[in-house]
Structure 1
Amino acid sequence: MLSFRLALSTRTDVAWHWDTDRWCRGDSWIRPVAHPALQHDIDQRPAVTTVLVRDAASPLTLPETTHHNRGGDSVAGAARGDALLLRIQPGRITLIAGVGGTVPLYLAADGGVLHGAWDLPALRRLTRRSGLLDRAVARALTRRHRYTSDTLFTDVTMLTERATATFTDSGLRNAYPAPAEHVTRSRVLRPGVEPTAVLSHLLTDAVRPWHESGLPVGLELSGGLDSATIAVAASETASAPLRTFGLVVNGALGAEQHRRRLTIARQVGAVDDILRAHDHAPFCESGIRASGAAHDPRGEFYREAFEALAERAAGIGVRIMLTGNGGDEIMAPRIDELPPPPPQPLTEVSWLGKRARDAVAEIDDNLAPSAVLPTPTLMGFAIHHPAYLRSGIWPVAPFTHPSLVRFAEQLPLELRRHKKLYRDYLSLAGLPPLVTHPQRTEHFRDLMQHGLRHHGLRLAERLLADGIILADQGFVDPDALRRTVQRAHQSTTVPSVLCDTLVLEVGLRSLQAATSTPAT
């Protein structure tokens, strides 16, 4: 929501002034994201400048926030929406995040200057000078991701939800908040309560502000239960036909997915737009990874396809994109209800180097505390949403409305398991078993295999011939990786975890090779 360059040495008795797309004072500047769904306010006082950036669903105002400025409680406790508070005082810069986490904020100190950006490549000059953080690289290579202020780089951190970052002459310090309170056990429904009606009410509350904004709204429609549920809720408050967008895979699975999409679109009166996912497979020649353009090494596995979808939506004027993100997480059984699946064995990543193997023991270090929203959802936002913002679209996940999260926490397991509540809601809306109880559910496993088989293996061979950064740093054993690639050529299945290594390596190389001047 913000990018900035803030120097502690900048004179505080000089007023900020607006210049083209940012606030400037001396050699410091603050650039809010320019989007009609976002608002920013600046309050200049003799001893402190306060900037608040928030989305249209946030109830916050700057006077209220500055009044409660000791702990930033009015930001952290926002009932809905997303917000970020920046406070600049002599010798001190403070940032406080809200609960939403719609887009990440990366922070890096460079002497007496604090840099911030929601798009990691904007900090690439600093990442090139930084070392790699062992536990973060181990998480990425073994697919054991965690919600934390850690990034891949020792000199770059991410501001997590409700966290506070403070920058002084002593450096940059991140402070996690207290764990968010949650309902830890399901409850028995009161007699006469209809949970589908409650779900409908809460989803309508979550979607309504975006329709009332007057901005063109789109919907990410996969054909699955989550996005279908959002489509039904959105259609009830929309004043114009919905525009839906989705990726359809090949084969019988894609054919059934396409039939579900047509059925949903017809039911809610949507105009549907389809992209063939296999035309934008991982590592395809037309994608950002093949181009060598600077990008976040932590990016979405299927970023080529989702970036194509974002560009298609932006091309017809969509400014708000509703998604079904978070739908899985709020219905997931708790650990005391059903045990989670076992972690992936390290033997599946046989090419790990000693440095990565040693760091596996540290992957649970420096974890953020319990968040208001499900942490897997927040992690997904950080890698999935910047592409939308680059395309001029503000992404919205109605399932992450805190009231809906709180409601789902209390539901009996029988309503959450297998998403029975969504199925009941969709059935009441008139959707047939093709949608509510599909024989095949959509997945991207075949797309992953296609991308690795047709593009990834050749890419791995080129990287091995050129020399791999991860191998030079001791995180990958190049001989073991070479053997894996050779075996994959003869096997019917390419190890999917090979994608994680290639994504990370290509991303690191893109940041090192970029020569254009970064914004920060």
Structure 2
Amino acid sequence: MGHGAGSPDHQRRWAPRLRIDYPEPGRHALPRRLRDDADPIAAFDDLLAQVIDQWEFTPDTAVADLSGGMDSANVALSLAQLHPGRVATGAMLLTGPYGQQQARRRAELRRAGFAEDYRLAMVDHLPFAPEGPRVRGEQFHPQEGPYAEARNLLLDRYAAAGATVVFTGLGGDEAMKLRTGETAHRPTKPRREPPLRTGHNHEPLYLGGRGRRLLAARYDDAAPIGPTLWSILDAYAALYPHYMRRGLWPINPLAAPQIVRLAESLPALWREGKRLLRGRLTRRGFSHEVAHPPLPENFQHILDLAMRRHGVRLLESLLDGGSRLVADGYLDEAELRRACHCFATTGQRTYEVYRPLILEAGLRSLHRPVRSGSAPADPAAAQPDGT
């Protein structure tokens, strides 16, 4: 009679034969010198259309993220060019002056030719709100980002409307980034405030002794670089399950190897400040506000608002109840309490309270038993907002 798969004899017999080999590192391009007649914008326009055409999908069941940012805007415009009036759009809406600018820019972009528009106000679903899913204890991965409350409700709306694929702008930041050597002699904009207080080795001060030791070894035995950067793969791992649980398949054309190779091959001046993406919008006739919005095109003010309203008090309550990460030596309680007081007083250095909070809350959620069934769909999901 043979040994069971889990028996000690079986493990001794097979363990020496197990070997894990990494593939060779992915090949990456270096910037080239352009010919006098080269047209990077036209090349990017053609290549992005070719990349999108690689996927088989029904345009009438596709949604394009259209926050107004450079990345998603360029992907959405290619979809409108390929399938006029058939692809829907969606966005999480900002608030205040940022939201007003976003509304104007989205309205102009949508005139390129889209179907329905699905909108969700982020201020009504702030990160770590008391009634939100993460505070209620639903499981989440700390790397999935601070905006899961709003994003997942928007995905519910897509699914309820019959969508099957969602096109995003994920990968645009990485494709357009400058290499270290390319930024050495370029003036950098002064930061309004440093995001974190750091020690002599540039480690966050809120790390405990065990956390500092792990930080020093974070690159040990790292896998080789792939054709798509590791930060994109991390985002895939954290975000894809939320799409796929709802029957949605996320597609990220700007993370495709062909787009990455083109961007890497371009001189730095075409990637700096996303000149390639902005230049394409300008060539397509969009206004200066669309191509060069004066207000920052990110969700930072939403996170700042959420941490002021909910996050800092939640972190303090977790510390009062006994933080698992503090107990295990990963975080330093005294520094975290100092960071909470500093943020509550000044509203500065949001990430000194956000990052420890999402790590602690995420760890606690993953230790809770998985709930059966899925979250109910948004009751208003089947009612798209036309523009």
Q: Which moved more, 1:379-388 or 1:434-443?
A: 379-388
Answering whether residue 235 of structure 2 is matched by residue 383 of structure 1, we say no
The residue that corresponds to 1:79 in the other structure is none
Structure with bigger strand share is 1
TM-score calculated relative to the size of structure 2: 0.84
The residue that corresponds to 1:253 in the other structure is 98
The Cα offsets for residues 171-207 of structure 1, whole Å up to 9 and x where unpaired, read as 97543221111112x1122343322221111111111
The residue that corresponds to 1:346 in the other structure is 198
Asked if 2 retains the 8 angstrom alpha-carbon contact of 1:283 and 1:289, the reply is: yes
Cα distance 1:173–1:290, how it changes in 2: closer, same or farther (>3 A)?
Answer: farther
Q: Which moved more, 1:484-493 or 1:415-424?
A: 484-493
The residue that corresponds to 2:26 in the other structure is 180
Answering whether residue 168 of structure 2 is matched by residue 313 of structure 1, we say no
Write the mapping of 1:347-426 to structure 2, written as runs, cut at 5 A: 347=199, 349-426=204-281
The residue that corresponds to 2:381 in the other structure is none
Asked if 2 retains the 8 angstrom alpha-carbon contact of 1:353 and 1:476, the reply is: yes
Distance 2:7 2:237 in 1: 23
Residue 374 of structure 1 deviates from its aligned partner by 2.4
Aligned length: 358
Residue 252 of structure 1 deviates from its aligned partner by 0.6
Counterpart of 2:325 (choices 435, 448, 470) is 470
Asked if 1 retains the 8 angstrom alpha-carbon contact of 2:140 and 2:366, the reply is: yes
Write the mapping of 1:483-498 to structure 2, written as runs, cut at 5 A: 483-493=338-348, 495-498=350-353
For the residue of structure 2 that corresponds to 1:307, the secondary structure is helix
The residue that corresponds to 1:32 in the other structure is none
Distance 1:180 1:361 in 2: 25
The Cα offsets for residues 271-293 of structure 1, whole Å up to 9 and x where unpaired, read as 32221112221112343211202
For the residue of structure 1 that corresponds to 2:235, the secondary structure is helix
Residue 298 of structure 1 deviates from its aligned partner by 3.0
Distance 2:300 2:174 in 1: 20
Distance 1:112 1:279 in 2: 58
The residue that corresponds to 1:229 in the other structure is 74
The residue that corresponds to 1:482 in the other structure is 337
Amino acid of the structure 1 residue aligned with 2:35: R
Answering whether residue 353 of structure 2 is matched by residue 507 of structure 1, we say no
Distance 2:88 2:4 in 1: 49
Structure with bigger helix share is 2
The Cα offsets for residues 474-503 of structure 1, whole Å up to 9 and x where unpaired, read as 112223323332343333336323111111
Distance 2:7 2:20 in 1: 16
The residue that corresponds to 1:208 in the other structure is 53
The residue that corresponds to 1:264 in the other structure is 109
Residue 231 of structure 1 deviates from its aligned partner by 1.3
For the residue of structure 2 that corresponds to 1:346, the secondary structure is coil
Cα distance 1:346–1:204, how it changes in 2: closer, same or farther (>3 A)?
Answer: same
Write the mapping of 1:447-462 to structure 2, written as runs, cut at 5 A: 447-462=302-317
Distance 1:343 1:180 in 2: 32
Distance 1:266 1:502 in 2: 41
Distance 1:515 1:394 in 2: 23
Distance 1:111 1:225 in 2: 56
Write the mapping of 1:28-67 to structure 2, written as runs, cut at 5 A: none
Asked if 2 retains the 8 angstrom alpha-carbon contact of 1:299 and 1:503, the reply is: no
Distance 1:387 1:331 in 2: 26
Amino acid of the structure 2 residue aligned with 1:380: A
Distance 2:29 2:208 in 1: 42
Amino acid of the structure 2 residue aligned with 1:205: Q
For the residue of structure 2 that corresponds to 1:273, the secondary structure is strand
The Cα offsets for residues 364-408 of structure 1, whole Å up to 9 and x where unpaired, read as 222221210123222222222221112211100111222221111
Cα distance 1:515–1:181, how it changes in 2: closer, same or farther (>3 A)?
Answer: closer
Distance 1:515 1:260 in 2: 41
For the residue of structure 2 that corresponds to 1:281, the secondary structure is coil
Unaligned runs of 5+ in 2: 189-193, 374-387
Answering whether residue 128 of structure 2 is matched by residue 283 of structure 1, we say yes
Residue 430 of structure 1 deviates from its aligned partner by 2.0
Distance 2:7 2:325 in 1: 25
Amino acid of the structure 2 residue aligned with 1:500: R
Residue 438 of structure 1 deviates from its aligned partner by 1.4
Residue 424 of structure 1 deviates from its aligned partner by 1.9
Unaligned runs of 5+ in 1: 1-7, 11-108, 114-167
Q: Which moved more, 1:341-350 or 1:269-278?
A: 341-350
Distance 2:238 2:172 in 1: 17
Cα distance 1:309–1:170, how it changes in 2: closer, same or farther (>3 A)?
Answer: farther
Cα distance 1:321–1:515, how it changes in 2: closer, same or farther (>3 A)?
Answer: closer
The residue that corresponds to 2:182 in the other structure is 337
The Cα offsets for residues 134-173 of structure 1, whole Å up to 9 and x where unpaired, read as xxxxxxxxxxxxxxxxxxxxxxxxxxxxxxxxxx545975
Amino acid of the structure 2 residue aligned with 1:346: T
Between the aligned residues of both structures, percent identity stands at 33
Distance 2:298 2:292 in 1: 15
For the residue of structure 2 that corresponds to 1:336, the secondary structure is helix
Distance 2:116 2:215 in 1: 47
For the residue of structure 1 that corresponds to 2:331, the secondary structure is coil
RMSD of aligned alpha carbons: 2.9
Residue 515 of structure 1 deviates from its aligned partner by 5.8
Distance 1:375 1:344 in 2: 23
Write the mapping of 1:107-126 to structure 2, written as runs, cut at 5 A: none
Cα distance 1:516–1:309, how it changes in 2: closer, same or farther (>3 A)?
Answer: closer
Cα distance 1:487–1:312, how it changes in 2: closer, same or farther (>3 A)?
Answer: same
Residue 229 of structure 1 deviates from its aligned partner by 0.8
Write the mapping of 1:39-188 to structure 2, written as runs, cut at 5 A: 169=15, 174-184=20-30, 186-188=31-33
Distance 1:111 1:427 in 2: 67
TM-score calculated relative to the size of structure 1: 0.63
Residue 312 of structure 1 deviates from its aligned partner by 1.8
